[in-house]
Structure 1
Amino acid sequence: MRMTRPTRIATAALAFCAASASVAVAADRHNGTWAVELVTDSGVCSARYSYTVAIRDGEVRPVSASAGARVSGRVAADGTVGITVAGSGGSGSGTGRLDGARGSGTWSASSLCAGRWTARRGTTRTAEAE
């Protein structure tokens, strides 16, 4: 059976819409507030840094950060993370993956130091009146 040109266009448009919807749903599953901790394993950096970030539609934004650091990054639909942290003392980057309510990866700040990071999704609790 041969498809007409309008049928092929409609079929392609439906396939594109379905694919776009599944990517949007996959990206949304990482949305929320995450507590992130960076631990220095080698180098001259401080031993530990803590951040709270919000993820919305794959974009990482800071909620709070140690010493006024700027945090930015992206989370892919599959949970792959790329993040950059910049502050008065320099900058660093990290990679890793989020899976469910947890995440982990590695980071480095030039040749000065390197380490690992962990993240956990924050919980939202709603108070109930009795």
Structure 2
Amino acid sequence: MLKSVVAALSLSAGFVAAVQPGAAEDRSYNGTWSVQLVTESGLCDSRYTVALAIRDGDVRLAATGEGGATVSGRIGQDGSVGLNVRRGSASGAAQGRLQANSGSGTWTVSSLCTGRWTAQRRSTRVAQAD
């Protein structure tokens, strides 16, 4: 279960910064992003890769069935991202920034583990999973 929580949080890990509610939508980040998470401390596996979909400022999983996790968040016009990830009773957060085709930041899964993330845009098309 810890592995699937971290994998799901990895999705979010790439994203949880101070985005103000009601921030203007920014379509420049639309697409499918590959997020790589590296654990720096704690009980999580050393690496995870997840896919996120961004559409009109909203962030979600690019594929269904990611271990029963839910991801929700928004991207600000400046590339800052606010993201929450939850699977069962575990939750995670991340902070960082996206640029045109890449991004980076840090993440944490409750008090279990922490790490850093990098992201690369794979496509400007958004996956159709809900």
TM-score where L is the length of structure 1: 0.68
Greater relative contact order structure (CA < 8 Å, 6+ sep): 2
Root-mean-square deviation (Å): 2.1
Unaligned runs of 5+ in 2: 1-23, 126-130
1:78 corresponds in structure 2 to 78
Unaligned runs of 5+ in 1: 1-22, 126-130
2:122 corresponds in structure 1 to 122
1:28-47 mapped onto 2 (5 Å cutoff): 28-47=27-46
Q: State the secondary structure of the residue aligned to 1:38.
A: strand
1:86-120 deviation per Cα after TM superposition (whole angstroms, max 9, x unaligned): 22471110011001100111011122110011111
1:8-62 deviation per Cα after TM superposition (whole angstroms, max 9, x unaligned): xxxxxxxxxxxxxxx55xx111111111122111001122222111111110011
- Preserved CA contact (<8 Å) 1:50 1:66: no
1:54 corresponds in structure 2 to 53
Say which one has the larger Rg. 1
TM-score where L is the length of structure 2: 0.68
Query: Which stretches of structure 1, 4 residues or more, deviate above 4 A after TM superposition?
Result: none
The percent of aligned pairs where both chains have the same amino acid is: 52
Q: State the secondary structure of the residue aligned to 1:122.
A: strand
Aligned length: 101
Distance 1:92 1:124, change over 3 A: closer
1:63 corresponds in structure 2 to 62
* Partner Cα separation in structure 2 for residue 89 and residue 41 of structure 1: 22
1:66-90 deviation per Cα after TM superposition (whole angstroms, max 9, x unaligned): 5343222111010001222222471
Distance 1:48 1:69, change over 3 A: farther
